[in-house]
Amino acid sequence: MKQLITDLLNQAIDSLKSSEMIPADTTVRFNVDHTKDKAHGDFASNVAMTLAKPAKSNPRAVAQMIIDHLPESTSVDKVEIAGPGFLNFFLSADSAQSIIKEVLSAGDCFGLNNDANGEKVQVEFVSANPTGPLHVGHGRGAAIGDCLCRLLKASGHEVTAEFYYNDAGQQITNLALSVQARAKGLGPEDDSWPADGYQGQYIIDVAEAYLNGEAVDAADKHVTGAKDPDNLDAIQEFAVAYLRREQDHDLKAFGVNFDNYYLESSLYETGKVEETVETLINSGYTYEDGGALWLRTTDFGDDKDRVMRKKEGGYTYFVPDVAYHLDKWQRGFKRVVNEQGADHHSTITRVRAGLQALDKGIPKGWPEYVLHQMVTVMRGGEEVKLSKRAGSYVTVSDLVEEVGRDATRYFLAARSATSQLTFDIDLAKAQSNDNPVYYIQYAHARCCAVFRKAQEQGYEWNQDAALSKLDPLTEVAENELMKRLSQYPEVVRNAAKRLEPHMIANYLRELAAEYHTYYNAHKTLVEDADVRNARLALSSAVRQVVKNGLDLLGVSAPEQM
């Protein structure tokens, strides 16, 4: 309907140009938006105000000119001028009811579009160091990142989901030393325990598996424990593979799958880090100072230049990041979205600066970033900080085990990534209207239950026949529900465009609230067959949209609760 109104307005503008009421070369940009107050109609447009200057008239007069030149449409009941010159469109009953036909005709595809026309996009998310179980912050990144992939696919993108393993650097050395210490029977209380050693129970598990000669399959690697507590290289290889396998298992249990896994270590093994450094040196944006190699990131908007190679040797962490993103570009990803924690904010400018300095034609704003804020886990009104296995933080598997996958995914994705999140375990477990995921899933289950009850009471249901006679849907609540259903495709478009999956969660909560209110106030299985069938059709459309929206969040749509 939004597109229909846009088309009608464009036809009116063409008529105004033809009659020379506005210049023929006038470029017109205007908005058509859903109204917030039903007293103002269903849609409103600012088109008259954008045309006032070229028409050399006041907006209200231009609004009347547009109304006079609007083509007739059975979908529009009336158009009114409001305020300084807004045009308010009131849809006809037939138009409002047509959304039910559209939803049920499209089914699982309702809300999908091909705006991207198959454009390739890579979404990198989670990308945790393989040094321990995934914590709740990783879980938020996993939920948001996976939802982004689903949204971008829904908008016609060819999406590749990628996990980047930081399996090189000091944190991996600390991991190996920690496992080695446990393998030798040492604990954090011993003087020889590594200064920055990991102390969780999982380190003991890794050490025992290594000493027992356990075989580990982790994506592209097969590693067997060498049983030798003095072989630090073998311990490191085993520990990384062991924890990669554990992280992969947790993510799959969380309903998150990746198309590709990329190892930081491979950038060194294939010489891509050295090649990137040489390219930067040859580009003229580097210099030596104090025995260190620096990159002139200030030439690209950074507040100060950054060290690339330390005077004692070894590259700073942003250098392999530049090499990795160059590799993404060379793999043909002209659009890349990185979903990461807010602690990565400082790296954005320097990574982009490094990519610009390579002089490879990479756009300034590439890649795109979605940064999520921290998560606080609460139970019984108190913060939960520790995990039985990890020791120092709450893990994703802890949450999934306690509240289930659906609630965990919903709660982690349902707020804007830019907002700090409080994960209330008690609320996530509650089977009440206060729990938003339960409330939404219950709306779907209610829709399904209506059809089961209809069958139990011997009522016949024929969708085609029902769709041919939707006239009985005249209640205000029914019109509001149909209006809400018609907004879904636009919500999907906007959520994908703005990279904000929480918009889907907000929409579903509003739709569920309206359906529950309607269900409680208006009986569906009435004696009048026409009314009954029309209301069943409406419930079927609501069920379909709730299911489609939950699927974009990676949350199930149960038929019974």
User: What is the per-residue pLDDT across 513-524, written as a single tens digit (0 to 9) for each?
Assistant: 999 999 999 999
In the DSSP assignment, the letter for residue 340 is: E
**Cα distance from N-terminal residue to C-terminal residue, the chain:** 35
CA 114 to chain centre: 18
pLDDT digits (tens, 9 = 90+) for 351-382: 999 999 999 999 999 999 999 999 999 999 99
User: Cα separation of 410 and 267, whole Å?
Assistant: 35
List pLDDT tens digits, range 102-152: 999 999 999 999 999 999 999 999 999 899 999 999 999 999 999 999 999
Distance CA 181, CA 192 (A): 8
Mean pLDDT, rounded, for 212-237: 93
Residue 519 CA to chain centroid, in angstroms?
A: 31
| d(C-alpha 454, C-alpha 446), whole Å | 12
Smallest Cα–Cα separation from 1: which of 46, 29, 40, 32?
A: 32
Q: Above pLDDT 90, what percent of the chain?
A: 86
Cα 35 → chain centroid: 26
% of the chain at pLDDT higher than 70: 99
Taking a C-beta distance cutoff of 8 angstroms, is the pair 79, 88 a contact? yes
Residues ≥6 apart with Cβ < 8 Å to 69 = 11, 12, 15, 16, 19
Q: Which of 166, 121, 146, 150 lies closest to 258, judged by CA?
A: 146
CATH topology of domain 97-114+432-552: Isoleucyl-tRNA Synthetase; Domain 1 (1.10.730)
160 in Cβ contact with 260 (< 8 Å) = yes
In this prediction, residue 211 has a pLDDT band, given cuts at 50, 70 and 90, of: very high
Q: pTM value?
A: 0.89
Cis ω before 188 (30° cut-off from 0): no
Q: Length of the chain, please?
A: 561
Q: Which of 167, 165, 191, 199 is nearest to 391 (CA)?
A: 199
| Residue from 31, 51, 40 nearest 79 by CA | 40
Q: Which of 243, 242, 208, 211 is nearest to 226 (CA)?
A: 211
Give the separation between CA 524 and CA 439, rounded to whole angstroms.
20
User: With 90 as the cut, is the pLDDT of residue 559 above it?
Assistant: yes
Mean of pLDDT values over 236-264:
94
Q: Which residue has the tokens 């040489």?
A: 278
Q: Of all helices (H) and strands (E), which one includes residue 96? A: helix 93-106
* DSSP per position, 8-64: HHHHHHHHHHHTTSS-TT------EEE-SSGGG-SEEE-HHHHHHHHHTS-HHHHHH
> Which pLDDT belongs to residue 262?
94
Does the structure show a pLDDT above 90 at 187? yes
**pLDDT at residue 391 above 90?**
no
Backbone angles phi and psi of 41, in degrees to 5:
90, -160
Whether 255 has a pLDDT exceeding 90, the answer reads yes
- In angstroms, the CA 54 to CA 83 distance is 20
Between β-strands 86-91 and 382-384, what pairing exists: parallel, antiparallel or unpaired? unpaired
* Cα 164 to Cα 93, 167, 202, distances in angstroms: 52, 9, 22
Cα–Cα distance between 538 and 550 in angstroms, integer? Answer: 18
Residue 420 pLDDT level (bands cut at 50, 70, 90): very high
- Residue 73 token pair: 């449409």
Buried b (16+ CB within 10 A) or exposed e, 231-247: eeebbbbbbbbbbbbbb
CA atoms within 13 A on the CB side of 287: 9
- Provide DSSP, 183-250: HTT--TTSTTS-TT---SHHHHHHHHHHHTT-EEEETTEEEE----TT-HHHHHHHHHHHHHHHHHHH
Q: Is residue 444 within 8 Å of 559, Cβ to Cβ?
A: yes
Edge-to-edge order in the sheet of strand 158-165: 260-263, 158-165, 120-125, 336-341, 368-372
Specify the CATH architecture of the domain 2-91. 2-Layer Sandwich (3.30)
401 DSSP 8-state letter = H
If you ran DSSP here, which 8-state letter would residue 297 be given?
G
Q: Does the pLDDT value for residue 528 go beyond 90? A: yes
200 pLDDT above the threshold of 80? yes
Ranges for all domains in the chain classified under CATH 3.30.1360.70: 2-91
Q: Please check whether residue 143 is in contact with residue 414, taking contact to mean a CB–CB distance below 8 angstroms.
A: no
Locate CATH 1.10.730.10 in the chain: 97-114+432-552
pLDDT band at 392 (very low <50, low <70, confident <90, very high): confident
Query: How far is Cα of residue 51 from the mean position of the Cα atoms in its chain?
Result: 37
- In three state form, how does the secondary structure of 498-536 look? HCCCHHHHHHHHHHHHHHHHHHHHCCCCCCCHHHHHHHH
- Kindly report the average pLDDT of the chain as a whole number: 94
Q: For residue 408, what are the CA distances in angstroms to 76, 163, 324, 511, 555?
A: 43, 20, 31, 21, 9
Residue of 541, 552, 546 lying closest to 492 (CA atoms): 552
The confidence score (pLDDT) of residue 168 equals 85
